[in-house]
Structure formats: C-alpha cells, structure tokens
C-alpha cells in the first residue's frame, strides 16, 4: 500500500487529541495572515476570542520559527516567558508581576521565515513541519502555525477554532483553509462558525471541484476524479441513510510534494478532517478506471473510516474517559458496515478474523474500569472497540445499533464517560435488562480473544 498505515495512525492520534476539546461556543481566531511563497514568509496579525476560562496554568503554543512581536489583551501589551521546545515554543503570559489567567480575548502578532526547499537539502518532513517547496505551502494544526492554547491541567490543546481569517498571498494561485471551499488568490477571506483544525494549503496549484469532494493540486483526469468522487458520495449517502443525519461536509483531497526527498516508492499522508493529504502518492492511482472503484477494499475502508469522523469527531466531539473509544471505534464500525454494503457481508467476517489475529493474547480493561482515556490504546480503539459495536449489533440488530450511535450524536456536547454509554443505550430503546446483560457478557470481558470468537461463532 502506498499509504503506510502506521503513519496514518500516528497522524490520527494527533488528529484526535484536539477534538476532545470542543466547546459549545467555540474559541475563534480572526485577523490577517500574509504569506510570501517565494521567500517563505508568514506574517500574522490575529485575535483569539471566546477563549475558555482557564487559570494561570495555560500556555500558548506556537511554531518555533515564528517570532513574537506582541501579546495584547484589553489592559495592554503583555509580557511573556517562553521555553524552548523541539517544534514549538510555549509562551507563558504575565503582566510583569504575576502570571495572568487566560484573557477572554487576546491579540497576537508574529512573523516567521522558513526555508523554501526545492531541492534535496531537507532531511525530514512530517505533519509538524511548515513546508514551503517552492510551489505549495503546507502548514497543519500540528505545526502550530497559529497560536494554540494549551490547558496544562487538562493536558489538552485547543486546535479546533471557528475562524474569520483573511489571507493575503500575492504569489498564490489558490488558497485553502481547512473546512472551507478553496479560493483563488491573491486575497481570500475564510469564515466558519463551526470549529476546524486549521490546515493551511496555499500556492501555485489548481483545484478541481466535485459534488462531494475537492481535489487540490491532484492533477487528476476529470473522469477519474468523478469516479473517485462517486465512491466518496456513495459512502456519504450510505452513512446519511443509515444514521438519518445528512452528510453536509465536502472532503478535500490534497496532493503535494514533501520537502524531504523521498524515493519514488515512498509516500505518506495525514488526515486533518475534512482534509486528506498525501505526499508522494497520487489519488488517481487509487481508482481502477474500468470499474470506477477503489483499487482495494482497504483503500475503501480507509476512506470510509475517515469519512465516519464527520459523525464521530466532528458532530460529536467526545471527551472524558470514553474519548478515544468514541472517536475511533464508531468510525471504524461505520467503515465495516460501508465495506459490507460495497463488497458483501463476507468482508465483515474477514475483518473480524483479521482483528482476532491482532488481538491475540491481549488483555482488555473493560470500558467501565477505564479511568484515563489513554488506556484505550491503538489496538483497543481500532480493533477491539469496533468488535464491541459488532457484538451490540449481533445482540440487538443493525437498526438499534444505528439508533444507539445516532442518539449519541444527538447528545453531542455532553460528558462522554462510561455512564453516557448506558444512558444513550437506554434512551435508544434498550431495556435495563438488555443493557445490564450486554455490560456483563460483552463489555465486562477481559480476554480480547473471546469476543471475536463469539462473533465468528454465530457468523461462520
């Protein structure tokens, strides 16, 4: 596979850390960004507002290449200490005497200069790098090209923001800010009341717009792009139909050249919902022209999983102890269902068998005993969690499983701890007895090999 799965997963973990922090009134970023593609310059004049009430234990994270001009709140210019980090600087704000609580509004002005790599001189590139390659600029939320509030106590970063940002880039043909429609340069204003992680992609490239997707810099033949988009639309329609919640979000596919000189066979990608980016790879190679379908079920499942994050991740931003379970396992479950609709029910059996192998000898901490979200590790959330939902389906049927998921989405904003699961199950129609027996016989299992065996026992 041209998409190294490990890398995708790593990116997803980072992707997820953010979503846990959604608020009812999202924090917002406004102002102006000026970019010079030729010189590798980024100048920012920004204001953060609707900031949460945090005591003095917060930090402001910013890429180490950005040089601070000022922080300012309603009382005037603020002072700061910074501590060096690998990729980011952590600013601690004070008024000369004391550290201050996080102001509700904060003005920040900074500028940064970055090397433009059009050659083989850079030895690394990854999602945390602000990458100018002479043609495009890629700056993801992980790079902290914009100020990210870090709540030390809760160990959470606020990377998802509502925005009203003007981008001035005189040498840009196209400008894209995550969650919005790409616009023609040199001046573009982006506005969203819904919070997104701010992936920025600008430069000398074309966009190709379709009903369900936008392709940026993909140079994909229109016919193939249409086929790709049909597959994406098919997945969206499937979800919207099953969950009864319209899928109102375009997916943006970004293709670009990494600044590390990868060999011809290496590529990597990352996801910052609703954007899916590859470096080195090509989207057009993933479609079989004759059939108009993805070239492999794993490819289909990968996109189906990512699209599932519209519901679990975006509409419902889980938090608390069930954060990682509710972020990844339902998205994975949905992709299993979408794959079954596309490739047949045998694909579900193959899926379970594959997970069974991965879970060999693994011990499980039952969801009711999870005290820290991180206890739900990769294998738990990507392999075991989906099996829990398949077991739910085996007992109560597909319809009630979708109802269970839908009920959770409709309760977005609530605390998603273990009690939330039981409350949602009952509200979606399970009797007390049904839930209790599910808790006892499925959720209570501690040997990860029991559940797949049970699922296969009834299916094969």
Residues that bind Zn ion (CB under 5 A): 12, 328, 331
Nearer to Zn ion, 185 or 269 (CB): 269
CB of 150 to Zn ion, least distance (A): 23
Nearer to Zn ion, 73 or 378 (CB): 378
CB of 331 to Zn ion, least distance (A): 5
Nearer to Zn ion, 333 or 418 (CB): 333
d(CA 364, CA 100) in angstroms, rounded, equals 43
Quick check: bond before 95 cis, omega within 30?
no
Read off φ and ψ for residue 407, nearest 5 degrees: -60, -40
CB of 335 to Zn ion, least distance (A): 9
Nearer to Zn ion, 108 or 307 (CB): 307
CB of 353 to Zn ion, least distance (A): 21
DSSP string, 55-73: -S-EEEEEETTEEEEEEEE
**Helices assigned H by DSSP within 162-221:** none
Nearer to Zn ion, 141 or 328 (CB): 328
Q: CA Rg, the chain, in Å?
A: 23
Q: Look at residue 333 and give its three-state secondary structure.
A: helix
Nearer to Zn ion, 243 or 331 (CB): 331
Phi-psi region of 244 (alpha: psi -120 to 50; beta: other; left: phi over 0): left
215 touches 178 (CB < 8 A): no
Nearer to Zn ion, 130 or 307 (CB): 307
CA angle at residue 164 from 161 to 170, to 5 degrees? 115
CA distances from 47 to 106, 120, 136, 162, 165 (A): 6, 37, 26, 12, 10
CB of 314 to Zn ion, least distance (A): 11
DSSP string, 275-327: EEEEES--GGGGEETTTTEESSHHHHHHHHHHHHTTTBTTTB---GGGHHHHH
CB of 302 to Zn ion, least distance (A): 10
CB of 17 to Zn ion, least distance (A): 12
Closest residue to bound Zn ion by CB: 12
Dihedral of alpha carbons 404, 251, 305, 25, sign: negative
Dihedral of alpha carbons 150, 156, 157, 163, sign: negative
CB of 334 to Zn ion, least distance (A): 10
Nearer to Zn ion, 197 or 328 (CB): 328
Nearer to Zn ion, 145 or 310 (CB): 310
**Burial of 350 (C-beta count, 10 Å sphere; 0-12/13-18/19+):** middle
CB of 309 to Zn ion, least distance (A): 6
CB of 437 to Zn ion, least distance (A): 30
Phi-psi region of 102 (alpha: psi -120 to 50; beta: other; left: phi over 0): beta
Nearer to Zn ion, 89 or 271 (CB): 271
d(CA 423, CA 435) in angstroms, rounded, equals 10
Point out which residues pair with 32 in neighbouring strands: 45, 166
CA distances from 313 to 106, 127, 324, 393 (A): 27, 19, 10, 22
Q: Look at residue 371 and give its three-state secondary structure.
A: coil
d(CA 17, CA 286) in angstroms, rounded, equals 29
Nearer to Zn ion, 257 or 355 (CB): 355
CB of 324 to Zn ion, least distance (A): 10
């Amino acid at each position: 596979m041209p998409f190294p799965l490990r890398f995708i997963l790593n990116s997803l973990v980072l992707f997820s850390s953010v979503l846990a922090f959604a608020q009812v009134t999202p924090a917002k970023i406004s102002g102006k960004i000026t970019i010079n593609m030729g010189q590798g310059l980024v100048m920012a004049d920004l204001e953060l507002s609707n900031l949460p009430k945090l005591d003095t234990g917060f930090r402001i994270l910013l890429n180490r290449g950005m040089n601070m001009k000022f922080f300012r709140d309603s009382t005037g210019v603020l002072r700061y200490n910074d501590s060096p980090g690998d990729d980011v600087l952590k600013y601690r704000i004070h008024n000369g005497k004391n550290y201050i609580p996080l102001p509700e509004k904060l003005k920040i002005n900074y500028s940064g200069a970055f090397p433009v790599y059009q050659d083989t001189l850079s030895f690394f590139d990854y999602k945390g790098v602000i990458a100018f390659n002479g043609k495009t600029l890629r700056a993801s939320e992980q790079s902290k090209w914009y100020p990210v509030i870090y709540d030390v106590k809760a160990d959470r970063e606020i990377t998802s923001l509502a925005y009203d940002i003007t981008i001035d880039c005189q040498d840009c043909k196209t400008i894209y800010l995550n969650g919005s429609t790409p616009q023609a340069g040199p001046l573009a204003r982006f506005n969203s009341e819904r919070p997104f992680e701010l992936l920025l992609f600008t430069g000398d490239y074309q966009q190709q717009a379709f009903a369900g997707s936008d392709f940026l810099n993909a140079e994909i033949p229109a016919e193939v792009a249409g086929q790709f988009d049909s597959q994406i639309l098919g997945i969206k329609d499937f979800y919207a139909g099953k969950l009864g919640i319209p899928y109102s979000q375009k997916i943006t596919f970004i293709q670009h050249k990494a600044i590390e000189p990868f060999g011809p066979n290496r590529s990597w990608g990352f996801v910052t919902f609703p954007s899916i980016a590859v470096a080195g790879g090509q989207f057009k190679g993933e479609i079989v022209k004759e059939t108009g379908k993805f070239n492999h079920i794993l490819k289909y499942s990968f996109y189906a999983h990512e699209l599932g994050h519209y519901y679990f991740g975006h509409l419902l931003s889980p938090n608390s102890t069930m954060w990682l379970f509710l972020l990844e396992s339902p998205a994975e479950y949905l992709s299993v269902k979408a794959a079954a609709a596309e490739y047949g029910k045998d694909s579900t059996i193959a899926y379970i068998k594959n997970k069974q192998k991965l879970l060999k000898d693994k011990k499980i901490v039952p969801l009711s005993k999870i005290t820290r979200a991180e206890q739900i590790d990769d294998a738990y959330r990507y392999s075991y969690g989906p099996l829990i939902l398949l077991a739910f389906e085996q007992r109560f049927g597909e319809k009630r499983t979708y109802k269970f998921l839908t009920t959770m989405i409709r309760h977005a904003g609530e605390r998603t701890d273990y009690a939330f699961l039981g409350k949602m199950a009952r509200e979606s129609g399970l009797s007390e007895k049904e839930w209790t027996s599910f808790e006892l016989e499925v959720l209570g299992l501690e040997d990860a090999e029991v559940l797949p065996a049970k699922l296969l026992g009834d299916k094969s």
